[in-house]
Amino acid sequence: MFDVGKKRRLKRIMPGGKTLIVPMDHGISSPVKGIQRIDEILEKIDGIADAVVLHKGVVKNSKYVENMHSALIVHLSGSTLYHANEKVLVCSVEKAIALGADGVSIHVNVGSKTECEQLRDAGIVSELCDSYGMPLLAMMYPRGEGVEISVETVKHAVRVGYELGADIVKTCYTGSAESFAEVVEYCEVPIVVAGGSKKKGEELLEEVRGAMLAGAKGVAIGRNVFQAEKPEEMVKDLRRVIHGSITGVEVLYEGDMAVDRGR
């Protein structure tokens, strides 16, 4: 049974039981375009996104995080592009707490060469999170040599995250609402979908609509936000699909136009 601390933090990350998370933890993997000046992105999407995912060094050096309205999730896992699937812990739950995190996240690649070590670390982190009342977002993917993404492999990955004690599970979309509904059925905690590679705006939104229809509780989308020409507009579009409105603003739909009707 969750304690009060975890419940309170989860409500910050998932207001109304749904969430729009923007991960920006990509810099350890490779110097991807769009995260050179994360504070600028944070300022644009703050209060529209429900939560952001950052590594500890970014949090420590940010001049914006301390005043941020969106929830903060500190990412505990890392690997570079040279060993992309072999995730290791690079931060502790205790450090995340010291940084003021509302939650932590880990990354597990089911099927990778170091799957056993990643599962062990996830289990340990899960228990620590329960002890401290800290929500755990588990990023669960079927990845490794000879491992293909399919309904069955994604279903297995999310089930592993659930059984290890994650509070929210992030995974890849399987291409249709019908197939993703099978994935959701195997996980009794909220599932959020990743954005994956860069996509056209309407293609991304259509995937999110399908995932929500299948029972997903939101998204954790990074590149398609911080590499967008106008990140704040992309987050607003995602928010309309997930929550039905922009934060603090009631939105009416008239054809293809969204009209704000006051705060």
Positions marked catalytic: 25, 141, 170
CA 30 to each of CA 27, 77, 231: distance values in angstroms, whole numbers, following the listed order:
5, 14, 20
Q: Residue written as tokens 């994956």?
A: 196
Euclidean distance between CA atoms 248 and 254, whole angstroms:
19
**Strand 251-254 versus strand 257-260 pairing type:** antiparallel
CA 33 to each of CA 95, 210, 222, 229: distance values in angstroms, whole numbers, following the listed order:
27, 28, 11, 12
Q: Which of 58, 59, 70, 121 has the alpha carbon at shortest distance from 92?
A: 121
